[in-house]
Amino acid sequence: MGATISGLTAILLAAGKGERAGGGIAKQYRTLGGRSLLDHAVRSLARADQILIVVAPGEADRAALALRDMTSVQIFLTGGTTRQESVRKALDHLATLPSPPSHIMVHDSARPFVPESVWERLVAALENGAVAAMPVLPVVDTLVRGTSGIAADVVPRDSLYRVQTPQAFRCDALLAAHRAWPSGENATDDAQMLRAIGHEVVMVDGDQRLEKITMAEDFVRVAALNGLSIGTVPDIRTGTGYDVHRLVEGKPLWLCGVEIAHSHGLSGHSDADVAIHALVDAILGALAEGDIGQHFPPSDETWRGAASLRFLEYARDRVASRGGRIGHIDITIICEAPKVGPHRDTMRKRLAEILALTPDRISVKATTTEGLGFTGRREGIAAQATATIVLNG
């Protein structure tokens, strides 16, 4: 039996925090190929009569700024603390309309590219009378159960599918399914809620280009699947850092994560590894994410006596969470003594281990100041660093 589609509204979910993707900015506001993911998603839903864009509380202005073109078919709504609640808020809005649409597509902005073919298959399913339809992909890997790192039975995969969005529904059925869903139970998509009240959910062929961006590395993969030139126009950043610590007698001396035998050591809140502090600032600088003091305040007792390598690991992870990689680092240590030369390769090796780089991307240099200034008087050691970082998108 055919169905008349008298109005198709898309609910575009963009109220998540994007925690797993990291990067300090919720993923829907990050850019690929010069447009925000949200903008890509809105464009790929252009065939809907109306788009309800569900954003986190207080973020309507931010969302509007993330769109290149605003049109009258876009309406911003405030979402909830879970995906399910965000859908529910959009449905509450629809329920107040004098003439709600006949059909709804619920879509994740974390899947910014909806191929026309998928849209057409979903609409065709609705026109054929389906109450619910969703795109799926077959599972291609072998699936196995396992506990504590030990594999158990293989799970037959021929009747298993990976579920994508947009998911298409008759509006009245979607409203009823949300009303009937037990409060306190989490549903990760809407089709399962329709099934729970006895509706059949039709599966149509999904598409790899619809893969969800969940982790930092997914940006590059999804961009490549959609033919965006992300890899060919890398976003290369350079940051610089500078730090000084006072030399005092009888303290251990740490430089570049290596303990060096010397009459004096550096004083500071942490282990006072001046070279690593400069390097961390260089990395944070390249990311435009403030400085070491902001991320590890000296007032915080947690970091008293801490190994500075912890700060470097943190900076390394900030780069990874932005989908980037460190291309090269260059450190200059400024002191009269000790001599850095004999330790240079150990230092490069140590930094290489922490940063998961080959030592040929790590330069450690040293200079004296010819007896001039505070370094010349051996009152302290200074270090400066540059970091070159390749970000994608």
3 state SS of 7: coil
How deeply is 129 buried, as exposed, middle or buried, from its count of CB atoms within 10 A (0-12, 13-18, 19+)?
A: exposed
What tokens does 340 get? 């850095």
Binder of residue 135, out of ligand CTP, Mg ion, none (CB less than 5 to 8 A by kind): none
| CB of residue 118 to ligand CTP, shortest distance in Å | 17
Smallest CA-to-CA distance from 167 within 104, 120, 113 is with 104
Q: 31 or 82, CB closer to Mg ion?
A: 82
Closest residue to ligand CTP in the complex (CB): 16
CA distance 164 to 3: 23
**134 is in the binding site of which of Mg ion, ligand CTP, none (Cβ under 5 to 8 A by kind)?**
none
Closest separation in Å from C-beta 83 to ligand CTP: 4
Interface region with ligand CTP, contact rule CB under 6 A, candidates 9-17, 59-67, 194-202, 292-300: 9-17
Q: Which residue is nearest to Mg ion (CB)?
A: 16
Among 9, 10, 11, 28, interactor with ligand CTP by CB under 6 A: 28
Query: Alpha helices, DSSP H only, in 27-66?
Result: 37-44, 60-65
Segment contacting ligand CTP (CB under 6 A): 78-86, 192-200, 341-349, 372-380?
Answer: 78-86
Minimal CA–CA distance to 288: which of 310, 262, 260, 315? Answer: 315
Report how many residues bind Mg ion under the rule CB under 5 A. Answer: 1
Question: Does residue 42 belong to the site contacting ligand CTP (CB under 6 A)?
Answer: no
Strand extents, DSSP E, the chain: 8-14, 31-32, 35-36, 50-55, 74-78, 103-108, 132-138, 143-147, 150-155, 161-163, 167-170, 201-205, 235-249, 253-255, 258-260, 264-267, 325-334, 362-367, 380-391
CA distances from residue 210 to 45, 235, 275 in whole angstroms, order as listed: 13, 25, 44
Q: CA end-to-end span of the chain, whole Å?
A: 46
> Can you spell out the DSSP letters for 181-215?
SPTT---SSSHHHHHHTT--EEEEE--GGG----S
d(CA 45, CA 30): 19
Q: Which stretch binds ligand CTP (CB under 6 A): 3-11, 18-26, 272-280, 295-303?
A: 18-26
Q: Write out the binding residues for ligand CTP, residues 199-238 only, by CB under 6 A.
A: 212, 214
DSSP state of 68: S
Q: Is 52 helix (H, G, I), strand (E, B) or coil?
A: strand
| Residue 80's binding partner out of ligand CTP, Mg ion, none, with CB under 5 to 8 Å set by partner kind | ligand CTP
Q: Quick one: which of 36, 44, 86, 375 contacts ligand CTP (CB under 6 A)?
A: 86
What distance in Å separates the CA atoms of residue 122 and residue 201, rounded to the nearest whole number?
11
145 forms part of the interface with ligand CTP (CB under 6 A): no
Distance set, CA 254 to CA 192, 200, 267, 381 (Å): 57, 66, 10, 11
Q: Which window, 16-24, 197-205, 239-247, 353-361, contacts ligand CTP (CB under 6 A)? A: 16-24
**Based on CB atoms, which residue is closest to ligand CTP, 52 or 334?**
52
Q: Report the site for Mg ion in 8-37 (rule: CB under 5 A).
A: 16
Cβ-contact 54, 77 below 8 angstroms: yes
By CB under 6 A, tell whether 20 contacts ligand CTP: yes
Q: Give 7 or 80: the residue with its C-beta nearer to ligand CTP.
A: 80
Q: Which of 32, 42, 53, 54 binds ligand CTP (CB under 6 A)?
A: 54
Nearer to ligand CTP, 19 or 345 (CB): 19
Which residues lie closer than 8 Å to 251 by C-beta, 6 or more apart?
264, 265, 266, 267, 272
CB of 28 to ligand CTP, least distance (A): 6
For position 14 contacting ligand CTP by CB under 6 A, the verdict is yes
50 contact, one of Mg ion, ligand CTP, none, CB 5-8 Å limit per kind: none
- Residue 41 or residue 331: which is nearer to ligand CTP going by CB? 41
> In the window 95-124, what residues touch ligand CTP (CB under 6 A)?
108-110
The residue ranges that bind ligand CTP (CB under 6 A) are 13-21, 28, 54, 79-83, 86, 108-110, 212, 214
The residue ranges that bind Mg ion (CB under 5 A) are 16
